[in-house]
Amino acid sequence: MILLIFNIFLWTCEVLTLLVKILGIFLEQLAKYVVPQPRKSIDGQIVVITGAGSGIGRQLSIRFAIQLNAVVVLWDINRESVERLNNEIRLLGGISHPMIVDVSDEKQVESAAGQVRQQIGAIHMLINNAGVVPCLPFNQLTCPQIRRTFDVNVLSHFWTIKQFLPIMEEYGRGHIVAIASSAGIMGSPYFTAYGSTKFGIVGLMSSLRKELHELDKHTQIKLTTICPLGISGTGINIPTRTRFPKILPIMTLDYAVDLMLDAILKEDNLVVLPFTFKLIFFVYRICPLKVSQLLFEFLDYAVEPPGFNAPIGRSHYHNNGNDRDYRNHH
């Protein structure tokens, strides 16, 4: 009897401790929306960015090199675009190192990572951004397209992390960033291959975060997964419709990168952009599937394959190729 009472007492203490910890976490999250959070400095740190030659990767590379004074290692499969970016960064006074790498090829990743360690140093941050975006009805996707999408969008993350995570663990510091998508947390018509890969990235980062926690390395090595809505100006010309652009906007590249950079420097975990979409995503998670489906039919936010037409009165975007001039930020 005494033993039973003692066990009940211990269990009660555990439950109360758990509740206090949960309350503390909620208060901490609430404070982030009230009190401005500090942004870490990466001055002089080495940052590897995949898919650096265009779109999000290009803008992040310029920001890190010029605004934040990082040493940026530019990985891209396209020699012309990455060398052009490297020249631009150096003209603006930044430090960058271009490398031609097909991140879907683990041997190329292994070789390039070895060169980075030997010639530049141990990296502080890895930003996995490279990706391909097939937008087609499921029955029109070819087997090579599906394989290529998974090779570039998912398996490349495994190859790069396997090369750089051990170095981060050895030095006791590091930050891994994955550029995912809203299609990786909610799914989207005509994005079955692309959305599946982005779900895979979210799962990879979530599992790795828990593993680092189990190994007590989560305070040393940070993980950030970014899931944005549609972005214009990336060079990917996929029409997108939105009935309420103030609620579910099609973000400009500059605005989206502003939000991404802020989240990275604050070392946020799962980042859903913009904030209005984050609120809708919260509703989506707690509602029954039929309710969520009705909600998104009402909001009418979706991508469209080539040859499809959006309803009249809906907003569209196409890439206009305009990029901000960063010379004023040097």
φ, ψ of residue 63 to 5 degrees: the values are -60, -45
Q: How many CA atoms lie within 13 A of 134 on its CB side?
A: 22
Amino acid at site 80: E
Q: Are 72 and 42 in contact (CB under 8 A)?
A: no
Which listed residue (33, 171, 190, 194) is catalytic? 194
Give the DSSP H/E element, type plus range, for residue 249: none
Q: Which tokens belong to 240?
A: 């997108």
Q: Are 181 and 194 in contact (CB under 8 A)?
A: yes
Q: Which residues pair with 271 in a beta bridge?
A: 226
Give the DSSP H/E element, type plus range, for residue 225: strand 221-228
Give the DSSP H/E element, type plus range, for residue 174: strand 174-179
Detail the DSSP E strand segments found in the chain.
46-50, 71-76, 95-100, 125-128, 174-179, 221-228, 231-232, 240-242, 251-252, 270-273, 301-303
Q: CA 162 from chain center: how many Å? A: 18
Q: In angstroms, rounded to a whole number, what is the distance separating the alpha carbons of residues 262 and 175?
A: 14
Whether 317 sits among the annotated catalytic residues: the reply is no
Q: Assign residue 124 a region (left: φ > 0; alpha: ψ between -120 and 50; beta: otherwise).
A: alpha
Q: Are 230 and 317 in contact (CB under 8 A)?
A: yes
Alpha helices in 215-268 (DSSP H): 253-265
Q: Which residues are catalytic?
A: 194
